[in-house]
Amino acid sequence: MDRLLCHVIGRYSRVHLDVDASFLQRAVRCFSNVPLPVPEHVSPSQVTAENQYECIAAVVTPLWQTPYKEQLAIKLQWSQSVMWNVVKKICKQRKSWNVKKFSYRLHRVKPSPVTEGYRNKDDFNIQTGVDGNPKTMGFFVGSPADGPVVCVRGTHLVNIRQSHKEVAQAYEDYIRLSPLPPCCHFGDGGHWRNLVVRSNEAGQLMAVVTFHPQDLEQERLEEEGAKLREYFLHGPGARCNLTSLYFQPCRHTRCTADQAPYTLLFGDPHLTETLEDFKFRVSPDSFFQVNTAAAAVLYNTVFSLAHLTPMTTLLDVCCGTGTMSILASRRVRGAVGVDSVSSAVTDARNNALANEALNVEFIAGLAEKKIPRIIAGLGMASHIVAVVNPGRSGLRESALFYLYWPDTVADSLIFEILMAVTEDTM
């Protein structure tokens, strides 16, 4: 290929930019000459009982006081700067490419149909709160890597659903009554850890409690799970009306289902989310866009930019629960999705069957290892579109190499790489 066509989709933006301020600062330093209006660093020592909710809003949703139209303009300007610097960097590394002739297009930011309470997944962490109680569930002011932090409840954060806040409060009430200590640091010998709350547009709720087992026997772990079940099924936590409750004993920062299996304490094993006229099964650790309404806008725009035809084969990299492939299944010849999370791939396969998407296939494994074999198997395909939508850790260079310069594919093959920068990847 002597020409790379790269569409970059302008952010499918939420009404509030709920990403960590330090993450934004790093992104700005790397690629952008345009600073986002990230507030001054909020020190844990500045947090008081009176200002804690303003402090956490400044950290988690730094643009929450900026009118939405201004937010979109800011993000477009920032994206333009990032894109231009990325193009210059690519052309600098490949001397034969002329930056002035490089073909790229940045599309305008599309607004989110939902402006508040749009997150369908929240991860509440545990640390010491303003009141000095180490069993406080919420979000951090400060970074554990830099020293002490203050944990503030997400009670007043506008991007979080009220039902999620209520589950987090019920969990905090429970662990404060428990004699077992919290696991704020892995060396402190504690047990209670973070809480993940997921929901769908129908209002059903899934809660996942992570618990450090330390040296507890299996019988004791089952006992703690039974107590938690009783609390949320018949005790004060029943007011949350959970659809399902999971318990995961985990010794690491993050554990996949393969490393530490989830125990279903009660309820349905999955949530079902509806997107357009398709239904998707969501497991505790499977990926699904955190803004469901904006996801529909995102995917339809991707399909428009990709110029999908009945002869197109879609390569869905980091496919999660298979949403992209299944939504595109009626427009293309076929689709192949790959993801490193095996439970997500299992969900994707079940979703394909449930939606009668018989022309899609999902493969579990690392993208950089699976893509060469997948491409080799598509040698007769006349038009392949690769949609790359990785998490924050990005995609390995070797995987990108096979997408940009696939030696196993005919020179006439057209690859369109659409970097779908969505609301949860910035």
- Residue numbering of the annotated binding site for S-adenosyl-L-methionine: 289, 339, 389
370: how many CB neighbours lie within 10 A of its CB? 19
Pair 135, 230 in one domain: yes
Measured CA to CA, the distance from residue 210 to residue 257 in angstroms comes to 12
State the average pLDDT over residues 175-184. 97
- In the block, tokens 């998707």 appear at 280
Token readout for 94 is 């490949």
Q: Over the stretch 202-248, which tens digit does the pLDDT of each residue have?
A: 999 999 999 999 999 999 999 999 999 999 999 999 999 999 999 99
In a domain, 60, yes or no: yes
Answer yes or no: is pLDDT of 160 > 90: yes
65: how many CB neighbours lie within 10 A of its CB? 12
Last residue of a domain, one of 63, 98, 133: 98
The answer to whether 326 and 357 have CB atoms below 8 angstroms apart is: yes
In a domain, 385, yes or no: yes
In a domain, 188, yes or no: yes
Pair 145, 238 in one domain: yes
Answer yes or no: is pLDDT of 19 > 70: no
Q: Over the stretch 73-127, which tens digit does the pLDDT of each residue have?
A: 988 888 888 888 877 877 777 766 666 666 677 778 899 999 899 999 999 999 9
In a domain, 214, yes or no: yes
Q: Check residue 97 and give its pLDDT.
A: 66
Greater pLDDT, 215 or 17: 215
State the average pLDDT over residues 247-252. 94
Pair 204, 90 in one domain: no
Pair 351, 311 in one domain: yes
Pair 229, 330 in one domain: no
pTM of the predicted model, to two decimals? 0.85
Last residue of a domain, one of 211, 245, 269: 269
Q: Which residues of 308-339 are buried (b: 16+ CB within 10 A; e: fewer)?
A: beeebbbbbbbbbbbbbbbbbbeebbbbbbbb
Query: Could you tell me the pLDDT band of residue 426, with boundaries at 50, 70 and 90?
Result: very low
- Mean pLDDT, rounded, of the chain: 84
As a whole-number percent, the residues of the chain with pLDDT over 90 amount to: 55
Q: Check residue 424 and give its pLDDT.
A: 36
Q: Check residue 42 and give its pLDDT.
A: 83
- Residue numbering of the annotated binding site: 289, 339, 389
Answer yes or no: is pLDDT of 318 > 50: yes
Greater pLDDT, 80 or 424: 80
In a domain, 12, yes or no: no
Greater pLDDT, 420 or 90: 90
The answer to whether 135 and 175 have CB atoms below 8 angstroms apart is: yes
Pair 165, 250 in one domain: yes
Answer yes or no: is pLDDT of 357 > 50: yes
In a domain, 110, yes or no: no
Q: How far is CA 254 from the centre of its chain?
A: 14
Pair 228, 344 in one domain: no
Contacts from 221-228 at CB under 8 Å and sequence distance 24+?
221/249, 224/180, 224/191, 225/263, 225/265, 226/265, 227/178, 228/174, 228/265
DSSP 33: S
DSSP 26: H
Pair 89, 197 in one domain: no
Contacts of 197 (CB under 8 A, 6+ apart): 121, 122, 124, 163, 164, 167, 168, 205, 206, 207, 208
The answer to whether 5 and 103 have CB atoms below 8 angstroms apart is: yes
- Find the angle CA(201)-CA(303)-CA(410) to the nearest 5 degrees: 140
Q: How far is CA 297 from the centre of its chain?
A: 17
Pair 307, 355 in one domain: yes
Q: What is the CATH number of the domain that holds 380?
A: 3.40.50.150
Pair 70, 160 in one domain: no
In a domain, 116, yes or no: no
Least confident of 21-35, 38-52, 83-97, 199-213: 21-35
The answer to whether 118 and 293 have CB atoms below 8 angstroms apart is: yes
In a domain, 154, yes or no: yes
The answer to whether 308 and 379 have CB atoms below 8 angstroms apart is: no
Tell me the residue type at 420.
A
As a whole-number percent, the residues of the chain with pLDDT over 70 amount to: 82
Pair 265, 327 in one domain: no
Measured CA to CA, the distance from residue 337 to residue 345 in angstroms comes to 8
Last residue of a domain, one of 269, 298, 321: 269
Greater pLDDT, 258 or 370: 370
Can you name the residues that pair with 247 across neighbouring β-strands? 209, 263
Domain that holds residue 379: 285-419
Number of domains the chain is built from: 3
Q: Is 117 exposed, middle or buried (0-12, 13-18, 19+ CB in 10 A)?
A: middle
Pair 31, 138 in one domain: no
State the average pLDDT over residues 406-412. 41
